[in-house]
């Protein structure tokens, strides 16, 4: 498996974000998916010992969306629809495996899915999402940041 690129200030992957999660993902080409690992600190809880639902959604959104980067690390898309199913509480301070897959993909949009898995194999949350190519003005704002989009 090979690593996916990360950026500077992204909440999830930004290496220079002092409050971010500093997640990294790998491409699992055999299974046509991306896999990330993260341990969410207690200060991102919604209840003691439980990851806040918004953080769960954010982790799923990013991981599912990264499935379109599997064959092209510059195939950046943005989410236009995200459906989350919270199956059980996701614990803080526990290493989580997050998996993202593209179900259907064209050059302009994709249907993607994700899941958070505990060390014992229990799935705590899943998502289905639609991601699309961003508008040109959004891409223009990304030009300066491209040089920081790299595998670390």
Is residue 143 assigned to a domain?
A: no
Q: List average pLDDT for each run of 10 residues in the chain, which is 152 residues long.
A: 93 95 97 98 98 98 97 94 98 98 96 98 98 88 88 89
Cβ–Cβ under 8 Å, residues 103 and 65: no
Is residue 147 assigned to a domain?
A: no
CATH for 112: 3.10.129.10
The confidence score (pLDDT) of residue 141 equals 82
Is residue 49 assigned to a domain?
A: yes
Residue 90 has what DSSP assignment?
P
CA separation, residue 7 to residues 1, 76, 99, 112 (Å): 20, 12, 20, 21
The residue segments making up the domain with residue 58 are 2-136
Is residue 150 assigned to a domain?
A: no
The confidence score (pLDDT) of residue 93 equals 98
In three-state secondary structure terms, 98 is strand
Is residue 79 assigned to a domain?
A: yes
DSSP string, 59-74: HHHHHHHGGGGSS-TT
pTM given for the model: 0.95
Is residue 10 assigned to a domain?
A: yes
User: What total of structural domains would you count in the chain?
Assistant: 1
Is residue 31 assigned to a domain?
A: yes
The dihedrals phi and psi of 19, each to the nearest 5 degrees, come to -110, 5
């Amino acid at each position: 498996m090979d690593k996916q690129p990360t950026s500077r200030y992204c909440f999830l992957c930004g290496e220079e974000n002092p409050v971010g999660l500093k997640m990294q993902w790998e491409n699992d080409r055999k299974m046509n998916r991306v896999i990330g690992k993260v341990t969410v600190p207690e200060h991102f809880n919604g209840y003691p010992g439980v990851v806040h639902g918004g953080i769960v959604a954010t982790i799923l959104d990013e991981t599912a969306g990264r499935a379109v980067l599997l064959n092209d690390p510059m195939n950046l898309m943005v989410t236009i629809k995200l459906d989350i199913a919270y199956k059980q509480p996701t614990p803080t301070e526990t290493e989580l495996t997050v998996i993202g897959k593209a179900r259907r993909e064209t050059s302009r949009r994709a249907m993607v899915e994700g899941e958070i898995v505990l060390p014992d194999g229990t799935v705590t949350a899943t998502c289905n999402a639609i991601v699309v190519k961003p508008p040109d003005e959004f891409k223009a704002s990304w030009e300066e940041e491209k040089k920081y989009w790299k595998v670390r």
